[in-house]
Structure 1
């Protein structure tokens, strides 16, 4: 894989199509799901044995969905229960430590 292949892959991966799904409609309600995406890449060249190299990584998480009913649009955030429990636990521990 060359540098140009990695850049093309990154361009195709980090697009609006990746963030927003195709609209799904049922019973007059349209839902468009959305995600947050983080990506990174790197590359380099080497010696006679390794002429070039490149890599790319992506992390995606659900963010929520737009719900469309008639002319009304509402944002419904996705709730990450594991992250919520971890945050509450960290706050409880911090409060217990600072109360001493």
Structure 2
């Protein structure tokens, strides 16, 4: 558990600033972490011993964007996740096709 604190440190969210001329770029990541554990000991009816244990920890990080600092002015530039855009478009297309199919089925029954 002590090591998990380091995983979510500020240095993991904000990367090292990159300076190019008079422009400073600070990369930012979106992080998530979680953990859990369990234990169980229930003896059976015939005297069998029960048992059990468990634990786990997870961590994920994804780019969120960058802060661009120029002439004392900071601007946020979000990272664009093309995969989410494509999946969102596919979901909209499927819903549209299912809706059109339902409309055409109802029109066909009326005739």
Establish whether TM, by shorter chain, passes 0.5.
Answer: yes
TM bracket, shorter-chain basis:
0.7 to 0.9
Taking only aligned residues, the RMSD between alpha carbons, in angstroms, comes to: 2.1
CA–CA separation in structure 2 for the residues paired with 1:12 and 1:76: 26
Report the TM-score when normalising by structure 1: 0.79
CA–CA separation in structure 1 for the residues paired with 2:65 and 2:10: 15
Aligned match of 2:31:
37
TM superposition shift of 1:46: 6.8
Offset from partner CA, 1:64-92 (integer Å, 9 cap, x none)? 00000012111111011111111111112
> Unmatched 5+ residue regions in structure 2?
42-50, 102-111
Offset from partner CA, 1:15-69 (integer Å, 9 cap, x none)? 211111011101111000111111111234578xx9x764321011000000000
Report the TM-score when normalising by structure 2: 0.72
Please say if 1:10 is aligned against 2:11.
no
Aligned match of 2:76:
75
Superposed structure 1 runs of 4+ greater than 3 Å apart: 44-47
> Unmatched 5+ residue regions in structure 1?
1-6
